[in-house]
Structures are given as structure tokens and as C-alpha cells.
Amino acid sequence: MLLKNTYNELIKILAKPRSYLGFGALTLLVLIIIFAMRLDGKSIISFVTATFENSISFNGHVLNGNLIAFIILQMLIVHVPLLVALVTGDLISGEAAMGTIRMLATKPISRNQVVMSKFLAGAIYTFLIVVWLGFLALFVSRFIFGTGDLIVLNSDGLVILKDVDVLWRFGLGFCVAFLSLLTVSSLSICLSAFTENSIGPIVATMSVIILFTIIGSLDVTVFDTIKPYLFTTHMAAWRSFFENPVPLKDIIQSIIILVLHNVVFVVVARIKFSKKDILS
């Protein structure tokens, strides 16, 4: 029954026009970035490399597909949560607003299974968004700009990664980015179990992300103890795969924190939805 309802949930997601907003917006944004880099990419790169020109000589194809993919990821990963929440935040509350929750809850499927199927469908949608972002960022960029060594500017300085050493980093980076976005999806579905209007959970999810991000960026001692436990602190963990050596310990810690958040959101949503009187 869980899988049958997950299939139902995917049909519903795919039938909603708003589900394609994310794919459309990503396509448009990536094409704009690629277009801009194609036109003026060299001057942007030279602006960055100028700082290091006294000590390092840059030869070869610096403005390549790998660098463009990294720039795209860096720019868009901040905005993708909104695109995910736009669809997943509606999964439970949208049914309540439409009245279909009444029909759904009178079927021989447990409320836990209803919630779990929504989480699974949300996860599949999030995965498809990440895959689409990966395809556009990596494959389209590499197709247009070609391949080459990747130069990444970190707080510690420049990291130069060989072309052959890049693809696996992108692969694992996308996996961690998926986990980050899955946390956003889980949060929005969890909030969705508390309300009966479609917009509320979407706005609330973005508010939580903005609030946590601000707390994370404030250099105030009182917040230092909670910062490591905020999921927003770990949403950029994908970037750690582009350091040399890769800080595995930090990445694993981020993965644990993100997984724990997902578990908490799922459990809270299940408890809330199971005990909820459906009055709509």
C-alpha cells in the first residue's frame, strides 16, 4: 500500500504545473549563467586570478565546463530549496485545502503510510531536481566549455584539481546536496502536516532556512553552541568535496546532522498527522 500510494503521490506531483516550475527555473538560470560566462567569463576569471598572478602562472583552459559547473552549483544551491519547498510544502496541506485529505483518510491505508508515501514522493521529486541541476550544470557546461582542471577559490586559498579528479567529487557533492535538499523537503512536509493551507508551509520553510542561515552567519557567542546543530550550517557540505584533502570527518558529521534532521521531521509529521482530527 505504501508503494501504491507513493505512485499516486508522484502522479499528483507530475500533474501539477507548479512541479515543472523548478525544472523550468533551473534551466533558465543555468542557461543565463552559461550565456553570461560565454560572453564575459574570461574577464571574471582574470579578476579572480589577478590576485595570485605574482605567485602563480595560470596556463591552459581555466574557463572550462568544470569551473562553470562549480559556479552554477555555488550560485543555485541557495535558491533550489525554494523550488523544492514550492512542491513538497503543499503535499499534505494542499490535500487539506482541497478537501481530498478526507477522501484519502477514509481509505484502508494507515495515516503513517500516507505520510511516508508523501515523504518518499517528495524525496523522488527532490532527487529529480538534483539530477536535472547536475545534468545542466555539469554535462551542458562541459559540452559547451569543454573540460579542464578545476580551480576553486576557498577561504584557505586556491585549490587546483586535475580534470580526472573532478567527476567523482561532483558525484559525491551532488549526493550531499541531495541530502541537504531532502532535509528542506522533509521540513516542508513536516510543516505541511500542521496547517490546512498551501502557502503557509512553503513560506514557513523558507523563513526557517533564512532564520537559521542568519543565526549561522552571526558571529555571536550565544549562538556558537547551536550553530553546529542547525541543518543550514551543513547545507554547503557538498563544497567540502572540492577541498584537498577531502575533510571526510567534517562531511560525515554533516551527513549525520542532516540525516538526524530528516528523521526528526519524519517522526514529528507522522505523530502530528496520525493524531490529527480531519475537520476540513
Partner 1 sequence: MQNETIIDVKHLAKSFGSFEAVKDVSFSVQRGDVFGFLGPNGAGKSTTIRCMMSLITPDKGSIEMFGKSLQTHRNEILRNIGSIIEKPDFYKYLSAEKNLEIFARISGADVSKKEIQEMLEFVGLSTRGKHKVGGFSHGMKQRLGIAQTLLHKPELIILDEPTTGLDPQGIIEVRNLILRLKNEQNKTILLSSHQLSEIELIANRMVIINQGKSIVEGSVNDLLQAEEIVVKVTVDDSEKAMRCIPQLAYAKNSEVISSTEIEVLMKKNEIALFNKHLVLNDVAVFSMEPKRKLEDYFIKIIQA
Residue 38 binds partner 1, judged by CB under 8 A:
no
**What is the nearest approach in angstroms of partner 1 to the Cβ of residue 22?**
17
* Separation of first and last alpha carbons in the chain: 24
Residue 20 binds partner 1, judged by CB under 8 A:
no
**What is the nearest approach in angstroms of partner 1 to the Cβ of residue 14?**
10
Question: Taking phi first (over 0 means left), then psi (-120 to 50 degrees means alpha), and beta for anything else, what does residue 157 get?
Answer: left
Residue with cell string 506531483: 13
Q: How far, in Å, CA of 98 to CA of 117, rounded?
A: 18
Per rule CB under 8 A, count of chain residues that contact partner 1: 26
**What is the nearest approach in angstroms of partner 1 to the Cβ of residue 205?**
22
CB closer to partner 1 out of 7 and 135: 7
SS3 154: strand
SS3 184: helix
Residue 42 binds partner 1, judged by CB under 8 A:
no
- With 0-12 / 13-18 / 19 or more C-beta atoms within 10 angstroms meaning exposed / middle / buried, residue 194 is middle
Among 28-36, 137-145, 242-250, 272-280, which window interacts with partner 1 (CB under 8 A)?
272-280
**What is the nearest approach in angstroms of partner 1 to the Cβ of residue 264?**
24
Cβ distance 178 to 127 under 8 Å?
yes
Residue 278 binds partner 1, judged by CB under 8 A:
yes
Beta strands in the chain (DSSP E): 150-154, 157-161
CB closer to partner 1 out of 41 and 94: 94
Among 63-71, 168-176, 237-245, 270-278, which window interacts with partner 1 (CB under 8 A)?
270-278
**What is the nearest approach in angstroms of partner 1 to the Cβ of residue 4?**
5
List binders of partner 1 among 76-115 (CB under 8 A): 98-100, 102-110
Among 144, 129, 2, 122, residue whose Cα is nearest residue 66: 144
194: which DSSP letter?
Answer: T
Residue 5 binds partner 1, judged by CB under 8 A:
yes
**What is the nearest approach in angstroms of partner 1 to the Cβ of residue 167?**
39
Given candidates 60, 162, 220, 275, which one binds partner 1 under the rule CB under 8 A?
A: 275
Residue with cell string 496547517: 195
Q: How far, in Å, CA of 184 to CA of 194, rounded?
A: 16
Residue 271 binds partner 1, judged by CB under 8 A:
no
Residue with cell string 595570485: 52
Q: Can you give the binding site for partner 1, defined by CB under 8 A? A: 1, 4-5, 7-8, 11-12, 15-17, 98-100, 102-110, 275, 277-279
